[in-house]
């Protein structure tokens, strides 16, 4: 079934029309070949849905929340993983945003991991043609909470998160390098991060314990598990199979199982890099002997020394942080089977 009903945003404030259903949030100043191809098909897009332009960081989040409050039912994020994450958190800012609207993705970024996971074409014009008549799928919705007791923050993410070395590399990425050499900019930053002393990150998992029947039984209670999984110097978290592009870092992950897949590197050093590089480059997978894995619906990451974390490839804060997932919490547009 086609998404249907796409028309340009009504110019009159407060006008009542059920035809206004979808909008595309994009950065008109975006650079690169993908952005140029996207701009060439703007006229066709504008004939079917509203266009909402960002002018500064954070605008995509505000525009997504505003669109949902205005009654838009489909919100397209036209950009990279960072734009996607802004739009996703805009859903959270609108009352019942995740149930009222669904997410579409037109990939314009450097890596576009979430688009790859969903099977969306990486060229925005091709993605638009497929998603115009896309099917809807419900997938799990992860989130992270962090900050002090009086400034607790919650951020949602779609595909992946990480703490330790990968987040530090993102922190060190040069914007000019990223635009000039693409994904290799993360490699350069990663080499810089490897030269630094790595923080030790502890993983704390809470599960519901079975209760003992009795008149005074308080019911199931959270129990902290110290081992497994233990901890390490690099923790990667996946809602899907892919990380950093087409690398299957979480080969058993399922975005519909209500669990997050966690990959722990006990050491993040040159030896680990050498051990993992060839299997990743040739087979797109990690050597299982180099990592430990577990799945959980909630857990916390802690560190005695400063340790950054990222979500969907964007620096989000510093540990401690608590991660959880809501099963089937996000509505997304995906190509129908057989498309493309």
Catalytic residues: 314
Angstrom distances, CA of residue 112 to CA of 144, 286, 288: 21, 20, 25
Structure-token pair, residue 322: 């608590």
Nearest to 189 by CA among 204, 167, 213: 167
**Sign of torsion over alpha carbons 77, 83, 85, 87:** negative
Q: How far apart are CA 45 and CA 39, in angstroms?
A: 10
User: Apex CA 213: angle with CA 209 and CA 217, to 5°?
Assistant: 75
Residue 56 phi, psi (nearest 5): -160, 160
List, in sequence order, every residue forming a beta bridge with 156; answer none if it has no partner: 143
Q: How far apart are CA 291 and CA 235, in angstroms?
A: 10
Q: How far apart are CA 114 and CA 22, in angstroms?
A: 20
List, in sequence order, every residue forming a beta bridge with 221; answer none if it has no partner: none
Cβ atoms of 24 and 76 closer than 8 Å: yes
List, in sequence order, every residue forming a beta bridge with 111; answer none if it has no partner: none
């Amino acid at each position: 079934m086609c998404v249907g009903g796409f028309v340009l945003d009504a110019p009159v404030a407060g006008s009542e029309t059920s035809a206004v259903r979808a909008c595309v949030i994009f950065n008109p100043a975006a650079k690169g070949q993908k952005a140029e191809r996207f701009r060439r098909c703007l006229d066709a897009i504008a004939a079917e849905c509203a266009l909402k332009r960002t002018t500064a960081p954070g605008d995509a989040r505000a525009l997504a929340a505003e669109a949902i409050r205005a009654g838009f039912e489909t919100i397209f994020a036209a950009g990279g993983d960072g734009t996607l994450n802004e739009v996703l958190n805009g859903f959270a800012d609108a009352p019942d945003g995740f149930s009222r609207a669904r997410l579409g993705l037109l990939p314009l970024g450097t890596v576009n991991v979430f688009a790859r996971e969903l099977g969306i074409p990486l060229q925005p014009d091709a993605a638009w043609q497929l998603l115009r008549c896309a099917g809807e799928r419900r997938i799990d919705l992860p989130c992270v909470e962090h900050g002090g007791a009086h400034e607790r923050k919650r951020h949602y993410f779609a595909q992946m998160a990480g703490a330790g070395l990968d987040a530090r590399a993102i922190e060190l990425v040069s914007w000019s390098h990223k635009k000039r050499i693409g994904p290799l900019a993360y490699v350069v930053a990663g080499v810089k991060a490897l030269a630094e002393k790595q923080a030790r990150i502890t993983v704390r998992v809470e599960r519901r314990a079975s209760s003992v029947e009795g008149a005074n039984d308080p019911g199931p209670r959270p129990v902290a598990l110290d081992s497994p999984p233990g901890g390490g110097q690099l923790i990667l978290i996946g809602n899907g199979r892919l990380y950093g592009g087409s690398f299957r870092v979480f080969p058993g992950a399922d975005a519909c199982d209500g669990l997050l897949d966690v990959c722990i590197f006990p050491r993040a050093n040159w030896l680990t890099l050498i051990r993992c590089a060839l299997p990743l480059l040739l087979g797109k997978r990690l050597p299982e002997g180099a990592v430990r894995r577990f799945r959980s619906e909630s857990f916390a990451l802690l560190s005695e020394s400063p340790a950054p974390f990222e979500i969907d490839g964007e620096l989000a804060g510093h540990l401690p942080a608590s991660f959880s997932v809501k099963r089937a919490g996000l509505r997304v547009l995906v190509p129908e089977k057989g498309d493309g």
